[in-house]
Amino acid sequence: MSGVLAGLRVLDFTTLLPGPLATLMLADAGASVVKVERKPGGDPGRANRPAQGGISVQFALLNRGKRSIAADLKNAEERAAVLALAREADVLVEQFRPGVMDRLGLGYAALREQNPRLIYCSITGFGQDGPLAQVAGHDLTYLARAGMLALTDDGTGKPALPCGQIADVGGGSLPAVVNILLALIRRQATGEGCHLDVAMTENVLAWMPRVIAPLLLGVAAPAPGKGRHMGGSPRYGIYTARDGVAFAVAPLEPQFWRRFCELIALDPALRDDTTNPDATRAGVAACMAQRDAADWEAVFAGEDVCVERVRTPAEALADLHVAARGLFDRRVALPEGGNLPALPVPIAAALLGATPEAAPALGEAGATADLWRR
């Protein structure tokens, strides 16, 4: 199959992670994506390591199935070639600071006159307007500004570094795709495009309803380690087995909690965790420390108690469930031969397009190729 978005033309001015992941999802669903890269080096993501087959593995994972042109957007002739593509595009995605595309003659107002059906998506840290619009940042600083980082604790009382790009992906890539698809639906009814303002920092707020809800009522937000999902409940935390292996324990619902307490033989006097949560937590920790991880995995196997051994990323990729679901069955070719498993994307298999092509070499499409072909 060609994918649910077959025939959709996407012009991609993005680099690194937020935008490239968004346009990857569109490409995987069948859209034709042309990546516009700045001369001479192109997307800085091309320099990321490790590399295999002459290309950054991360770049290959995020940019498979796209085509690349290299252009100096300050050069009138080369900018005109890009402008010609924009006139034919259905969607344009960019992540420059506000005003940059306007100065290049590629802003939404200019392109709307020539292509009123264009859906123009801008991904930035703080949005297209407001006092922070021109402030530079990265995932970590966006999380800090949004208040999420203050909810973490590294064990010394300081905020902990997150292990994933929450603002980039959860505040940028995913909202961009959702808004683009919604705008496409609206365009079917109205025939008109629009400018989508995707601000990563403010989109992080949607990840914190349990924190925002009390604040809206004038009640203090939970301190790090105190909220129900942040370590304040004995039913939701990390406990260590006798051999030092960590377990994620989350039997929040009463039926799960009752069975969990039975399986670990928690003192009945501690099972009402509302009386003395600290004592209950200490009791659970003491029980978990009495057996090795393999013993606990055998105890919890087949039980509805919401407990998992903490796996490394390598273990997660090799998990039997991952294999059974075929998450890495799709493969992407490398420019110099060989292939890699394709990065799984959160799109249902029924909506995906054909097997992904290789990530493009910088400027491989040239100036005269049929850039929109798949």
Model pLDDT for residues 60-119, shown as the tens digit of each residue:
999 998 999 999 999 999 999 999 999 999 999 999 999 999 999 999 999 999 999 999
* SS3 of residue 93 by DSSP: strand
pLDDT of 147? 93
Indicate if 129 belongs to the active site.
no
Percent of the chain topping pLDDT 70: 98
Model pLDDT for residues 147-184, shown as the tens digit of each residue:
999 998 888 889 999 989 999 999 999 999 999 999 99
**Does residue 336 register a pLDDT over 80?**
no
Spatial CB neighbours of 357, under 8 Å, sequence gap ≥ 6: 64, 65, 332, 333
pLDDT of 244? 97
- Work out the number of other CB atoms within 10 angstroms of the CB of residue 366: 11
pLDDT of 148? 93
Phi/psi at 71 (5° precision): -145, 145
Which part of the chain is CATH 3.30.1540.10?
A: 228-320
Which part of the chain is CATH 3.40.50.10540?
A: 9-206+324-351
pLDDT of 367? 55
Q: How far apart are CA 371 and CA 374, in angstroms?
A: 8
Q: How far apart are CA 321 and CA 249, in angstroms?
A: 20
pLDDT of 372? 67
Q: How far apart are CA 150 and CA 161, in angstroms?
A: 11
**Does residue 264 register a pLDDT over 60?**
yes
228-320 folds as formyl-coa transferase, domain 3 (3.30.1540)
Q: Could you tell me which residues are beta bridge partners of residue 52?
A: 55
Handedness of CA 353, 358, 362, 367 (dihedral sign): negative
Spatial CB neighbours of 320, under 8 Å, sequence gap ≥ 6: none
User: Cis bond leading into 162, ω under 30°?
Assistant: no
pLDDT of 295? 97
Model pLDDT for residues 354-372, shown as the tens digit of each residue:
777 888 888 887 754 466 6
pLDDT of 229? 75
pLDDT of 373? 57
Say if residue 47 is exposed, middle or buried (CB neighbours under 10 Å; 0-12, 13-18, 19+).
exposed
Instruction: Supply the mean pLDDT for the chain.
Output: 92
pLDDT of 298? 97
Residues 323-347, buried b or exposed e (16+ Cβ, 10 A)?
Answer: eeeebeebebbbeeeeebebbebeb
Phi/psi at 90 (5° precision): -90, -35
Model pLDDT for residues 179-228, shown as the tens digit of each residue:
999 999 999 999 999 999 999 999 999 999 988 998 999 998 887 777 77
DSSP 283-298: HHHHHHTTS-HHHHHH
DSSP 188-204: HHH---EEEEEEHHHHG
pLDDT of 369? 45
Say if residue 50 is exposed, middle or buried (CB neighbours under 10 Å; 0-12, 13-18, 19+).
exposed
Model pLDDT for residues 17-30, shown as the tens digit of each residue:
999 999 999 999 99
Among the options 138, 153, 197, 229, which is catalytic? 138
pLDDT of 157? 84
Handedness of CA 167, 173, 174, 180 (dihedral sign): positive
Higher pLDDT, 15 or 350: 15
Q: Could you tell me which residues are beta bridge partners of residue 341?
A: 331
pLDDT level of residue 280 (50, 70, 90 thresholds): very high
pLDDT level of residue 339 (50, 70, 90 thresholds): confident
Average pLDDT for 287-307: 97
* SS3 of residue 18 by DSSP: helix
Find where tokens 């029924």 sit. Answer: 350
Indicate if 138 belongs to the active site.
yes
pLDDT of 260? 98
Contact assessment for residue 337 and residue 345, using Cβ atoms and an 8 Å cutoff: no
Average pLDDT for 290-303: 97
Find where tokens 């005269």 sit. Answer: 368
pTM of this structure: 0.92
pLDDT of 370? 63
Say if residue 373 is exposed, middle or buried (CB neighbours under 10 Å; 0-12, 13-18, 19+).
exposed
pLDDT level of residue 238 (50, 70, 90 thresholds): very high
Among the options 90, 139, 168, 273, which is catalytic? 168
Which CATH number is associated with domain 9-206+324-351? 3.40.50.10540
What are the tokens at 341? 């498993």
**Does residue 273 register a pLDDT over 50?**
yes
Residues 264-301, buried b or exposed e (16+ Cβ, 10 A)?
Answer: bebeeebbebeeeeeebbebbeebbeebebeebbeebe
